[in-house]
Each structure stands twice: as structure tokens, then as C-alpha cells.
Amino acid sequence: MSTPSSGPQRIACLSTEAVEVLYRLGAQERVAGISGYSVHPPQARAEKPKISGFSSMKLERIQAVQPDLVIGFSDLQRPLLEECERAGLATLWFDQRDLAGIHAMVRRLGGLVGREAEAEALSRQLRQTQDELAAAAAALPWRPRVYFEEWDEPMICGIGWVSELIQLAGGEDVFAERARAGFARERIVTPEAVLAARPQLILGSWCGKRFVPERVLARPGFAALGARLAEIKSADILAPGPAAIERGARQLLAALQDTVQALS
């Protein structure tokens, strides 16, 4: 059995959700460096060195924090981890794409740093939040059709966990089937496909930049949809960790409730 002193002591986190989870488990002293995109928790940005972007890094910055483990996420960070491996650094790669994967990631990190009980407690807390959201969604008189836009040029629809959260919060993801695709390029959609799906709510979460509703409405035919538009900050929903469930999903619910009220 692992103990609080076992496992890696200096972890370089290229993915933001790993930072959040390690802090939530009380293992923040193990975090040696973070991505510049890390937002949750705020104290991490204040006290930990920024060592990478999301899809880019400089190896010397990673090496400068003397990590005994480098953690990354997704196919976009796999090449970064491979570069670290060539330099002799140990790595751990996650690729969770759904809610079950988020819970598995929490438990894996808990075991890694000897915080199994804390990880189980966090997973239970997240499941309770999911149950509360589902109960609130059940009170909606109908389920709005939702188009979630992760990127604007090209237009990319939501990824797996985002689609699940839309369903959980009481919406119908118009591209639910496409959300299961592993790569972003497989989630590219056309304006014609969006118009044909007739969404009643368009949610924008343009990764790393501000959502501009006016640009969406300027697309031919989009204003005529009469859909409501809202933004969810990418830091709150596009990192597959606790923030997506606790912050992003609650914002999804609020947007869906507003849509039902406005269009009923």
C-alpha cells in the first residue's frame, strides 16, 4: 500500500486538471510546475512556476523544476511527453474523454501520491454534484437542443465529457455522436450542419480566447435560428477534471434553464 511519502515528489503538470486534482487531494507540495493555462485553483498560478503551454513547451523549463514525473493529457500533449522521455524523464499520459474517465483519473492520481481516501472522497463529491444536476434537469419541462462550439475557425463541436454534461444538465447535444470522436479534426462541423440541427441554445467556449456572439450571428442563417447564445469559459469546462463538473456543468444548467424560460 502506498503512503503519503511514496510516489513522485516533484510532478510537472502539463495538463491543468492534474494540477487541480493534486491540490484538491492535499498533494500540492508535490506540484513542481504547471501549465500557463492553469486557472484552478487560483493559488497554483500564484505559487507554482509556469513551465509549458498546452501544445508547446521548452524542455529546459521542464528540466529546471527537476521533476521526477511529467504528467500530460491527450494526443496533443503526447509528443511533449515523448520529448521528455527522450530526455530521460518519467512521464504519465492521460486521455480521459468522458465522465467515467475523469473519475478514473482522480483515483489514479490519488493512488500515485498516496491519497487514495482523499481521491475516493473527491470522486464521491463529484458524483453528488452530478446527481444534483440531474435532479435539477429533471425539473425542466423540455430539453433544449444545444450546439456547443469549442472552436470557431474551423467550427469544432464539443468533446465527449462536454456532451455528457449537456445531457446531464437537461439539454440535447445536437452532435452527440460526433462528440465521441477522439480527435478534434473529427469534430469539425459545417455551418450547414448546425443550421440543419436547429439548435435552440448555442454555447461558445473557444479554447483560450473570448467567445464573440456577434461573429456567430454574422454567419449566414444563424441569426434566423433565434437561438440563445452564451459563453462558458474554457477553463471551466474544457479541462476534463473537477472544474468541468462543478463549474462548467452548473453554467450549462443555468443556460438551459434560461433558454427554457425564454422560449416557453
pLDDT in tens, 90-134: 999 999 999 999 999 999 999 999 999 999 999 999 999 999 999
Indicate the pLDDT class of residue 243, thresholds 50, 70 and 90: very high
Rounded to an integer, the average pLDDT of 52-64 is 94
Rounded to an integer, the average pLDDT of 17-28 is 98
147, 115: one domain: no
Predicted local distance difference test score (pLDDT) of residue 5: 59
Rounded to an integer, the average pLDDT of 171-197 is 94
170, 238: one domain: yes
183, 102: one domain: no
Q: Is 197 exposed, middle or buried (0-12, 13-18, 19+ CB in 10 A)?
A: middle
- Of 126, 159, 178, the one marking the end of a domain is 126
Residue with cell string 463529484: 126
For Cα atoms 51, 118, 95, give the angle at the middle one, nearest 5 degrees: 50
Predicted local distance difference test score (pLDDT) of residue 264: 87
Rounded to an integer, the average pLDDT of 22-48 is 96
pTM of the predicted structure, to 2 decimals: 0.94
Min mean pLDDT across 117-121, 178-182, 217-221 is at 178-182
- 2 within some domain: no
Q: Could you give the CA distance from residue 99 to residue 167 in angstroms, rounded to a whole number?
A: 12
What is the total count of domains within the chain? 2
- Of 81, 98, 126, the one marking the end of a domain is 126
Q: How far is CA 8 from CA 4, 11, 70, 181, in A?
A: 10, 7, 10, 33
CATH, residue 59: 3.40.50.1980
144, 220: one domain: yes
- 3 within some domain: no
Rounded percentage of the chain residues whose pLDDT exceeds 70: 98
Predicted local distance difference test score (pLDDT) of residue 2: 41
100, 163: one domain: no
- 132 within some domain: no
Domain that holds residue 154: 140-263
- 133 within some domain: no
91, 162: one domain: no
Predicted local distance difference test score (pLDDT) of residue 109: 98
Average pLDDT of the chain? 95
145, 45: one domain: no
Q: pLDDT at residue 6 above 90? A: no
Rounded to an integer, the average pLDDT of 176-195 is 93
Q: pLDDT at residue 263 above 90? A: yes
Min mean pLDDT across 19-33, 98-112, 162-176, 179-193 is at 179-193
Rounded to an integer, the average pLDDT of 169-178 is 97
